[in-house]
Homo-oligomer: A and B are copies of this chain.
Amino acid sequence: MSSRSRVASTLRRAKVNFGNFTRPIPYFAQPRWQSTASTEDAEGVAKGTTGSSKTIKFTSETYPSIKRDSRFAEITEEHVNHFRSLLGTESAIIDGVTRDATDDIEPFNGDWMRKYRGHTKLVLKPASTEEVSQVLKYCNDNMLAVVPQGGNSGLVGGSVPVFDEIVISMSRMNQIRSFDEVSGTLVVDAGCILEVADGYLGERGHIFPLDLGAKGSCHIGGNVATNAGGLRLLRYGSLHGSVLGIEAVLPDGTVVDDLSKLRKNNTGYDLKQLFIGAEGTIGIITKVSIICPQRSKAINVAFFGLESYEKVQEAFREAKGQLSEILSAFELMDRQSQDLVHRVTKNKRPLESEYPFYCLIETSGSNTEHDSEKLEKFLEYVMEKEIVLDGVVAQDTTQVKALWGWREGVPECLGHWGGTYKYDLSIPISELYSLVEETRAKITDAGLLGEDEEHPVVDVVGYGHMGDSNLHLNVATRRYDKEVEKILEPFVYEWISKRSGSISAEHGLGLAKKNYIGYSRSDTMIRLMKQIKDLYDPVSGIHLL
């Protein structure tokens, strides 16, 4: 059961019933839903498109300019034997060094976007912080390169090996350690799956302050290491604010024991912050303590059609002002993105007509009636002022799930034709959508976009977390194509740089963007980052900087 449907079952008890209001909402068409059975959840679609990673080119072939650092040792039987004795059980090692283990190892060598593929022959699955420490110390002493891996749901190639780096999988460290119902503080192992933690919290009236499409497979350690943003940031803020403590292991084996459960602790430098967003490059997070808010009793979801991006901005300003403390999501989807979802899922669209832009709004609060009244008032206002042209409000949990499907389904549906060029950008809100229009124009002008197989590009779409000024510019393609790439880069990065935006809002740098950091960070900042990398890991540094 997905986290979304758990949220929904809460809603069922606190059913929103707009029929109770004094006047009906005639301007809202009744949603014309298909059976939800045809709406595959994000993870399912993702798995479906991934297929066997063996058909994918090696990263080392795709990017021949990336060379293996010859200072790193090759893995020998002796190394494997050491790890075997260290980790004890057979299940802790996938050994492709002394035997053939290709099939078992391949999932650890590739990513779900089918973009990256490594050559690793060894996967280690430590079961404790002490084991992580001993593994890293040994690797450090013996010049063995490593790559930490959580749920491997990243989008920038940061969790898969490029060459023969040892994969350190956190999957066996997956326990929930403690939860304090009064303070809301949860302590979990890094390998705990986000959805598992959120389910555990749900049974205790709380919610994990982070939600994202990959919740069924991503690890909390990976979420924290990549400073994941996702769907709840607008309401619950960034992990830099909600993570209270971290236990991590440095490359030399030092255990950073900073697993505070306190909301406030001003005793010296807040070093745990360095690990949030460092993408595993200065250490491996082994445990996380995090403050979790109360789960809302009432959840409402509305879906609108709008005629222009100007109207989208107006709707956002009104939603912030009128829905204020109960606004929990404000998501943007353009017509092109919804057309592609429709083509893939064949689901009936929520609205009768088509519009250039769509928004999804979610409210969550403690009082169903109050929330419905606020939302009703807001909807009346935006309809009367013609900010919004049409819309629906979910009437039950099935509809909540289905409406979210039109937003959460975008990334997976885009992959339907082959692959997707993905850009995850922070841009000042007023200019946010211009980039999509300019990119689409450039690709169209170059004759690369079209309906048939001759054209590599299916469409250029924009969607994302409007509430956080976070645009996902995606180019759905039939095949990865050098002509398309030449148009996209460095154009997109230069465009962002001119507006002091971020070339990676929430996905991180990974391998995909490590060479482009200069578009979002000054030379001074890059120098200071290198200093930190050198401080904790003077030897290595494959994935960042």
Contacts and interface: CB of A to CB of B under 8 A. Distances in A.
Interface string A503-545: 1111111000100010011101110110111010000000011
Given A266-B505, A426-B264, A183 B241 contact: no
A63 interface: no
A321 B324 CA distance: 19
Given A270-B240, A274-B270, A294-B321, A469 B262 contact: yes
A322 interface: yes
Q: How large is the interface on A (under 10, 10 to 19, 20 to 34, 35 or more residues)?
A: 35 or more
A517 B240 contact: no
B257 A524 contact: yes
A238 interface: yes
A233 B265 CA distance: 13
Nearest to A544: B268
A6 B8 CA distance: 41
Contacts of A238: 241, 263-264
A286 to B, nearest CB: 14
Given A366-B325, A370-B373, A522-B257, A268 B529 contact: yes
A182 interface: yes
Contacts of A370: 367, 370, 373-374
A264 B501 CA distance: 9
A276 interface: yes
Nearest to A528: B271
A509 B267 CA distance: 6
A129 interface: no
A405 interface: no
A324 B529 CA distance: 39
A38 interface: no
Given A229-B264, A370-B367, A370-B374, A525 B429 contact: no
A265 B267 CA distance: 27
B505 A262 contact: yes
A227 interface: yes
A416 interface: no
Contacts of A428: 180, 183, 261
A305 interface: no
Interface in A58-94: none
Interface string A245-270: 00000000011111011111111111
A521 B264 CA distance: 14
A420 interface: no
Interface in A1-43: none
A430 interface: yes
Give this chain's copy count.
2
Contact of A276 (B260, B270, B296, B366): B270
A506 B500 CA distance: 33
A276 B180 CA distance: 27
Contacts of A182: 313, 316-317, 429-430
A85 to B, nearest CB: 27
Interface string A232-243: 010001101110
Contact of A326 (B180, B325, B525): B325
Given A257-B525, A317-B182, A429-B183, A266 B233 contact: no
Contacts of A468: 263-264
A190 interface: no
A269 B524 contact: no
Nearest to A325: B325
Nearest to A328: B325
Interface in A151-182: 180, 182
A177 B255 CA distance: 42
Contacts of A183: 428-429, 469
A267 B365 contact: no
Given A182-B430, A374-B366, A470 B264 contact: yes
Contact of A262 (B226, B426, B529): B426
Contacts of A316: 182
Contacts of A227: 266, 270
A249 to B, nearest CB: 11
Given A182-B317, A258-B525, A266 B277 contact: yes
24 contacts: A180-B428, A182-B313, A227-B270, A233-B263, A238-B264, A240-B270, A241-B242, A256-B528, A260-B500, A263-B469, A264-B505, A265-B502, A265-B505, A267-B503, A268-B526, A268-B545, A269-B529, A270-B273, A273-B273, A294-B324, A296-B325, A367-B373, A370-B373, A531-B535
Interface of A: 180, 182-183, 205, 226-227, 229, 233, 237-238, 240-242, 254-258, 260-271, 273-274, 276-278, 282, 294, 296, 313, 316-317, 320-326, 365-367, 370, 373-374, 426, 428-430, 465, 468-470, 500-509, 513, 517, 520-522, 524-526, 528-529, 531-533, 535, 544-545
* CB-based closest 4 A-B pairs: A241-B241, A273-B273, A324-B366, A264-B505
